[in-house]
């Protein structure tokens, strides 16, 4: 029902940048990014890109200290195969935060990448690790066009105080879930159906949605014996055939 995928995070210039960075950093790097609805990459208004990077770096320091490898609150990569896959992705941009790694204990530091090509490997499939590409945009239309050019995501995150822009995101994008000014938290609310759309999954569960998705709605048809019309049975006349065609081709 939910398959993951690349969940974009858009950051508008009309935003509380400190709070946005805190929530994005938490959502991306909890469990070292190994969460199906973790923010996969950031699309940020070009006017605040530098400031957002500064804030994210500060959040990483606040959460995990100067050396996240020594932090009891920072996870490791699940196995060597995934560690090697993620290390390969580190070469797909300019490392501006983190990048350190250690095969012996499968550690990859919380990492931020800049100068990332849209055609690179890190933008081709779900990262599922502690690597966060940051891409700037000039207009929100540009960001929406980029998102819509890719398979529909399991989650889409939009940080903005602008209600008009929030409505634009709501109307012009499609995703399994949409969160405004938050990451990941919608997956913990049982009253919100959780699932994907298109490439990111089919159907949804949680709460009553779980009952609905795992229940088969069987169609039951009942008819009494009276009221049968003989014209439904062969042999047919031309005018009856025309009527049948009109009924069954609607």
For 72, the 3-state DSSP assignment is: coil
Whole-angstrom CA distances from 7 to 49, 123, 146, 176, 200 are 19, 11, 12, 10, 10
Residues identified as active-site = 2, 36
ω into 84 cis (within 30 of 0): no
CA distance 149 to 43: 14
What is the C-alpha to C-alpha distance for residues 184 and 168, in angstroms, rounded to an integer? Answer: 21
Distances (CA, A) of 67 to 72, 97, 104, 110, 132: 11, 12, 16, 10, 18
Return the half-sphere exposure (C-beta side, CA atoms, 13 A cut-off) of residue 33. Answer: 27
Strands 177-180 and 101-102: unpaired
State the sign of the Cα–Cα–Cα–Cα dihedral 83, 32, 52, 140: positive
């Amino acid at each position: 029902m939910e398959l993951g995928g690349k969940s974009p995070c858009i950051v508008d210039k009309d935003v509380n940048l400190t709070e946005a960075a805190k929530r994005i950093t938490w959502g991306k790097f909890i469990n070292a990014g190994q969460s199906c609805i973790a923010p996969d990459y950031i699309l940020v208004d070009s006017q605040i890109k530098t400031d957002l990077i500064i804030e994210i770096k500060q959040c990483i320091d606040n959460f995990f200290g100067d050396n996240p490898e020594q932090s009891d609150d920072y996870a490791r990569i699940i196995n060597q195969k995934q560690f090697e896959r993620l290390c390969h992705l580190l070469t797909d941009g300019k490392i501006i935060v983190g990048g350190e790694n250690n095969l012996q204990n499968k550690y990859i530091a919380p990492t931020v990448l800049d100068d990332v090509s849209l055609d690179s490997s890190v933008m081709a499939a779900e990262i599922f690790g502690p690597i966060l590409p940051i891409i700037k945009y000039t207009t929100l239309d540009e960001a929406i066009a980029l998102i819509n050019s890719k398979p529909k995501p399991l989650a889409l995150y939009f940080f903005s105080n602008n209600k008009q822009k929030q409505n634009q995101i709501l109307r012009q994008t499609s995703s399994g879930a949409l969160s405004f000014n938050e990451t990941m938290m919608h997956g913990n609310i049982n009253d919100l159906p959780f699932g994907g759309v298109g490439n990111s999954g089919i159907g949804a569960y949680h709460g009553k949605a779980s009952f609905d998705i795992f229940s088969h709605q069987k169609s039951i048809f009942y008819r009494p014996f009276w009221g049968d019309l003989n014209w439904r049975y062969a042999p047919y006349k031309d005018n009856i055939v025309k009527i049948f065609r009109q009924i069954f081709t609607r």
